Structures are given as C-alpha cells and as structure tokens.
Structure 1
C-alpha cells in the first residue's frame, strides 16, 4: 500500500475518532504528496514519497528548534505531536552506531582520505541512508571520520 493510500485511510480514522491534531497533520502530509504528484505529472514512487515525508519531518524539527530557542513553548507542543504523526510514515531511523558503520564502509569503498573527499563520500552515502538517518548526523559523522 502506498503512503498516499495509507494517509487516506488514517485521515478517515482520525475523522471518526475526532482526533483534530492527527487529522490536520495527515491532511498536510497528504496535501504535500498530492502537490508533488501534480508538479511531477506522474504517480510518485515509494522513494519520492519518502523524500517528501523526510522533508516535512525536517521542516518540523527545524521549526521546533527555532521555537525552543525563542522560548515559544506554546508552539513547541503542537509540533511535537506533528512529529510523532509524521514519524509513523517514515522507516525506522538508524542508530548512531549504524550510521557510523555505514559511513566508515562508504569511506573505504570510495577510497576517501581527507576532508577534500567529503563531497565524494556524501554522494555515495546519501542514497544508502535516505529517509533512514538524519542528514545532520550523517554529515557530522562523515566530517569526524575524515578528520
């Protein structure tokens, strides 16, 4: 079942349960997927759907960090609820140890030896971890291992 179909089913369930927070988040996700589908002009592949959901998750995490920094706790709580809903549709995130292992393997695979090879490593690495690991964590791990 595609993520879009799953979102439709979950939207119906949230309506029946009168769960407004989940309903609004599911609607936003469904809308983002449908807008991208219209823009692309074809049905989205699973990978494209995951890319969009990852982007939505990143936007929410970035917003939450900014709200916390500004001391706006009234805006942080609804975002935390949204993040939990979005997380249900993403694959399980890799642990820090798993990320470190895959980064080390990729560095060996491309023969990287210095920070100058950062772009080469990231280019080979990102398709392997797309949607499964936080890009910021991957970036920091690559920098640490190339140092």
Structure 2
C-alpha cells in the first residue's frame, strides 16, 4: 500500500471513530500533498510525500518554539499533537551510529578534505537520510568532522 493510500485510509478510520483532532491533522497533511500535486502537475511518490511531511514537521517545531515563547501553551499542545500524528508516517529514524557511518563513507567516497567539500558530503548522505534524520543536525556533524 502506498503512503498516500495509507494516509487516506487513516483519515477514513479517524472519521468513523470521530477523532476530530486526529482527523484535522490528517486532512492538513492530505491538503498539503494535494496542493503540491496540483501546483507541480504530478502525482507524488512516497519519497516526495515523506519530504512534504518532513517540511510540515519542521513548521510545527518552529510554531511550538514561538507559541511557547509567547506563553501560548494551549496552541503549542495542538502543534505537539499534530507532530505525533505526522510522525507516524515517517520512516524509522536513523541511529547516531548509522548517521556517523554514512558520513564517514561519504567523506571517503567524495574525498572530502575540508569545509569547502561539505556540499559534496551532504549531497552523498541526503538521499540515504531523507526523512530519517534532521538534516540540520547532520550538517552540523559533517562540519564538525571536516573541521576537526
């Protein structure tokens, strides 16, 4: 079953179970997928859907930080719930050891010697880690390895 079909089935089951909060989060996800499909005139595959979910998760995390800074905990709680719903559709997260091994392999494969080669290393690890790790943290790790 494709990821889009699974999301649609989960929406139907949330409707039947009258889980309004979960239903709302799933509908937001489906709307984002549909919007991208209409804008680009394509049918999204699972990898592109994971990228869309990843973008939504990042937006939610940014919103949480702003809501908590403004003292709006009730809005931050809604965003936390949406993250928990969206996270269910993401692939299993990569372990720290797996990330380090992929970075080491990419550094050897690309012949990276310094920070100027960071783009090459990022390009090599991104397909392997897309949706499975926070790419900002991966970037920080790569930079630390290239500098030190």
1: CA distance, partners of 2:3 / 2:60: 19
- Whether 2:50 is the aligned partner of 1:50: answer yes
Unpaired runs of at least 5, structure 2: none
How big is the shift at 1:29? Answer: 0.3
Alignment of 1:57-136 (within 5 A): 57-136=57-136
- Whether 2:38 is the aligned partner of 1:38: answer yes
Unpaired runs of at least 5, structure 1: none
How big is the shift at 1:116? Answer: 1.2
TM-score by length of 2: 0.92
How many residues matched? 147
Match of 1:9 in 2: 9
TM-score by length of 1: 0.93
1: CA distance, partners of 2:66 / 2:120: 31
SS for the counterpart of 1:18 is: coil
How big is the shift at 1:97? Answer: 2.3
2: CA distance, partners of 1:36 / 1:76: 26
Task: Pick closer, same or farther for the CA change 1:95–1:26 going to 2, 3 Å.
Answer: same
Which stretch of structure 1 is more off in the superposition, 79-88 or 94-103? 94-103
Task: Pick closer, same or farther for the CA change 1:146–1:70 going to 2, 3 Å.
Answer: farther
Task: Pick closer, same or farther for the CA change 1:93–1:15 going to 2, 3 Å.
Answer: same
The alignment's C-alpha RMSD in Å is 1.3
